[in-house]
């Protein structure tokens, strides 16, 4: 199967990954149908062999000299090392061997060398960062001075654009080593032990002698053929047989995509395949954008987004009033799980101190139970963060598609540190999944040719989007004198007078800054992401949003069109009296509120004002005096209602032109 993809003009290749599952297989020698458990067992034998070889290879070369030789890209003779890790390791003479008495082919050794080479190459950046921090070790590790910050950024490669949190975390690691040993470590290889080996099979390092994949007659299915052992310690090549495994391709893989050999992992009792594929997508542009989507981060209101247009004469206008993605219920659940994991960590550490080295201690069983519970809570937190990241990213990309935007501008908040807002709020701000949302947003936007660019976050919420005047932040629009942070008011009432939600003003500033600075967009060589690194004062002066239509005075009541016909009995926006009780079936009068007519009961979780008990897990304990099957239902929770009833987003309202309804509302007090 050819891996080259024909491209049309304006198209480019994009390699992505989707998840699949190997549920069954057929042994081609014996014709035996392998069940899911049998296939998992045979794949697990190969994973154990490869993992052991990788661990020994990484441990043998876990030092600064070998890592530098591999990362510099040249061998002892001055020749350039190959880009494939397994080929580079073979050029250097770093070989991996199977356990004594076990017979494996050369492709198994390739997978081990590829995984070990990738691990050792990734250490080079951490090693250079640690050496830079050690060379400029501050007098007070907890608080660097401005000169000490400049010194460490000068020594570290790319330190000028490196987030401060990365340097601080490395400083804390070195300080912990110093407190424990009474001295500074020599390098990262002394401060850190060799990393644990991931249990997986990189089939991409193999060729047709070990594995192959091809599509079938059905474009939604593919066939993976690979050699697997028939025993955990194969003694000869006769103990390896070909196994054919059908794979159901996810719907996210296009029919014309080119499939690559997957990476196999074992998780939750099944064999999982990370299916890599290449397909053609529209090419993204760094410059030449006329419509952009600005995205601002928040706490409970996770995302605030809106579109702006750059006209031919250089004037910036907002397209619509924007939208918001609220995930207060999901974030509250994540916050409760974090507190639960901290509590379990404390109990496990206490039990470990009591048990010490006594394997027969009475608390050993409870310690094992708590360890399993902590693992389950950690997995739950990870899955919840992944679901939230995909949902928020999909929403933002859909907003850009609906607005016809060709670029999405994000705040660069990698260096943001939550301080001065209380211990609970600081922790919640620091543990949000902004990085995952940005990565998934780039992944989804690339499918439609939309570029994702990060811009500096300085003064995006501090200045007015229409005149760049420093805003006054208040608690609410009807409390213009109460200090707060949610509502922003421009003090220049004679010339501007804009007021609105703080986040809604921020996305206007982000979109305007991105459009005016798009000529300075660069592509980061290390990550391949598009960024705007600095803000130019000359360009920033032009980054102002002007109203799409001229504002008219409130006293001007001249007629501009025909009078809208009104009914003699208009329906009220909200019922002034509750509706009568409806029948048990779907027929009858419409219930009060905005409940759909095809549902007899609206879950409480669908309400926008969510409390901290929105998606609590029911307790299996029966109520006192109740039946054993009765369970406690927390107030404000819709049990089994699903994830998306707890993440709310306003619908896009993209009308051209749509007047800015918040620019001249005045004070509501």
Give the phi and the psi of residue 154 in degrees, each rounded to 5.
-70, -35
Distance between CA 148 and CA 154 in Å, rounded?
10
Distance between CA 60 and CA 273 in Å, rounded?
30
Quickly list H helices, 404-433.
Answer: 423-430
Which of 217, 310, 270 has its CA nearest to residue 512?
A: 310
pLDDT value of residue 428:
56
pLDDT value of residue 575:
47
Give the phi and the psi of residue 408 in degrees, each rounded to 5.
-120, 125
Distance between CA 113 and CA 111 in Å, rounded?
5
CATH 3.30.420 range(s) for the chain read: 291-327+389-546
Distance between CA 316 and CA 161 in Å, rounded?
29
pLDDT value of residue 555:
61
Cα angle 274, 275, 276; round to 5: 115
Which of 374, 315, 309 has its CA nearest to residue 340?
A: 374
The residues near 262 (Cβ < 8 Å, ≥ 6 apart) are 20, 203, 204, 213, 224, 273, 274, 275, 276
Which of 379, 368, 307, 315 has its CA nearest to residue 341?
A: 379
SS3 256: coil
Name the pTM for this structure: 0.76
Classify residue 72 by burial, with Cβ atoms within 10 Å: 0-12, 13-18, 19+: exposed
Distance between CA 250 and CA 272 in Å, rounded?
13
Give the phi and the psi of residue 608 in degrees, each rounded to 5.
-75, -30
pLDDT value of residue 119:
94
Q: How far is CA 170 from the centre of its chain?
A: 23
Cα angle 645, 651, 653; round to 5: 175
Q: Quick one: CATH architecture of 291-327+389-546?
A: 2-Layer Sandwich (3.30)
Distance between CA 317 and CA 511 in Å, rounded?
10
| Beta strand ranges found along 311-392 (DSSP E) | 316-326
Residue ranges in the chain modelled with pLDDT below 50: 1-2, 575-577, 579-582, 585-597, 602, 604-623, 626-641, 654-669
Please write the tens of the pLDDT for every residue from 603-614: 544 444 444 333
Which of 90, 67, 51, 446 has its CA nearest to residue 283?
A: 446
Length reported for the chain: 669
Give the phi and the psi of residue 248 in degrees, each rounded to 5.
-85, 115
Q: How many CB atoms lie under 10 A from the CB of residue 140? A: 8
The interaxial angle of helices 36-60 and 106-135, nearest 10 deg, is 50
Q: What is the DSSP letter of 73?
A: T
SS3 408: strand
Which of 645, 650, 667 has its CA nearest to residue 329?
A: 645
Q: Cβ distance 475 to 449 under 8 Å? A: no
| Beta strand ranges found along 7-84 (DSSP E) | 11-22, 25-27, 33-34
Burial 89-100 (b: 16+ CB within 10 A, else e): bbbbebebebee
Distance between CA 50 and CA 44 in Å, rounded?
10
For residue 581, what are the β-bridge partners? none
Q: Cβ distance 50 to 106 under 8 Å? A: no
**Cis omega (within 30 of 0) for bond into 657:** yes
Give the phi and the psi of residue 532 in degrees, each rounded to 5.
-110, 110
Q: Cβ distance 544 to 467 under 8 Å? A: yes
């Amino acid at each position: 199967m050819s891996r080259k993809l024909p491209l049309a003009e304006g198209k480019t290749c994009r390699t992505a990954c989707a998840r699949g599952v190997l549920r069954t297989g057929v042994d081609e020698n014996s014709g035996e149908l392998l069940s899911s458990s049998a296939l998992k067992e045979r794949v697990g034998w190969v994973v154990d062999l490869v993992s052991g070889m990788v661990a020994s290879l990484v441990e043998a070369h876990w030092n600064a000299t070998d890592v530098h030789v591999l990362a510099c890209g040249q061998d002892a003779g001055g020749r350039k090392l190959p880009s494939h890790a397994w080929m580079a390791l073979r050029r250097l003479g770093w070989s991996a061997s199977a356990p004594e008495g076990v017979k494996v082919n050369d492709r198994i050794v390739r997978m081990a060398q590829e995984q070990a080479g990738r691990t050792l190459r990734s250490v080079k950046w951490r090693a250079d960062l640690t050496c830079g921090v050690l060379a400029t070790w501050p007098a007070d590790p907890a608080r660097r001075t401005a000169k000490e910050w400049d010194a460490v950024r000068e020594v570290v490669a790319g330190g000028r654009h490196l987030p401060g949190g990365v340097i601080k975390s490395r400083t804390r690691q070195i300080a912990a080593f110093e407190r424990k040993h009474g001295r500074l470590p020599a390098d990262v290889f002394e401060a850190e032990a060799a990393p644990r080996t991931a249990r997986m099979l990189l089939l991409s390092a193999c060729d047709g002698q070990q594995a192959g994949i091809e599509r079938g007659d059905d474009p939604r299915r593919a066939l993976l053929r690979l050699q697997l052992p028939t025993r955990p310690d194969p003694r000869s090549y006769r103990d390896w047989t070909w196994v054919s495994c059908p794979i159901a391709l996810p719907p996210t893989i296009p029919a014309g995509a080119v499939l690559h050999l997957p990476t196999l992992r074992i998780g939750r009792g099944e064999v999982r395949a990370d299916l890599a594929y290449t397909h053609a997508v529209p090419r993204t542009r760094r410059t030449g954008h006329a419509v952009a989507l600005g995205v601002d981060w928040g706490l409970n209101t996770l995302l605030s987004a809106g579109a702006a247009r750059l006209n031919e004469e250089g004037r910036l206008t907002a397209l619509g009033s924007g939208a918001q993605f609220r995930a207060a219920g999901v974030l509250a659940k994540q916050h409760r799980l974090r507190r639960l994991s901290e509590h379990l960590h404390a109990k496990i550490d206490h039990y470990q101190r009591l048990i010490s080295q006594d394997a027969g201690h009475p608390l050993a069983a409870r310690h094992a139970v708590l360890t399993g519970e902590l693992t389950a809570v950690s997995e739950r937190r990870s899955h919840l963060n992944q679901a939230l990241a995909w949902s928020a990213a999909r929403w933002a990309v859909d907003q850009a598609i609906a607005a016809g935007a060709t670029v999405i501008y994000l705040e660069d908040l990698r260096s943001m540190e939550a301080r001065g807002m209380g211990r609970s709020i600081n922790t919640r701000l620091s543990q949000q999944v902004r990085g995952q949302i940005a990565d998934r947003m780039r992944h989804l936007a690339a499918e439609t040719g939309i570029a994702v660019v990060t811009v500096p976050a300085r003064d995006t919420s501090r200045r007015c989007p229409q005149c760049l005047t420093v805003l006054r932040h208040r608690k609410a629009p009807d409390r213009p004198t109460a200090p707060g942070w949610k509502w922003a008011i421009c003090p220049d009432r004679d010339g501007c007078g804009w007021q609105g939600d703080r986040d809604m003003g921020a996305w206007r500033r982000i979109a305007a800054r991105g459009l005016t600075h798009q000529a300075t967009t660069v592509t980061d060589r290390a990550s391949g992401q598009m960024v705007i690194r600095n803000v130019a004062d000359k360009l920033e002066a032009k980054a102002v949003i002007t109203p799409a239509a001229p504002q008219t005075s409130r006293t001007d009541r001249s007629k501009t069109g025909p009078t809208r016909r009104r009914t003699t009995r208009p329906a009220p926006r909200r019922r002034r009296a509750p509706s009568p009780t409806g029948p048990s079936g779907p027929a009858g009068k419409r219930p009060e509120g905005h409940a759909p007519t095809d549902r007899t009961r609206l879950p409480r979780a669908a309400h926008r004002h969510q409390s901290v008990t929105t998606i609590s897990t029911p307790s299996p304990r029966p109520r006192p005096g109740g039946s054993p099957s009765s369970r406690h239902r927390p107030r404000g929770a819709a049990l089994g209602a699903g994830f998306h009833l707890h993440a709310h987003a306003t619908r896009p309202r993209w009308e051209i032109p749509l007047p800015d309804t918040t620019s001249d509302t005045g004070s509501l007090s």
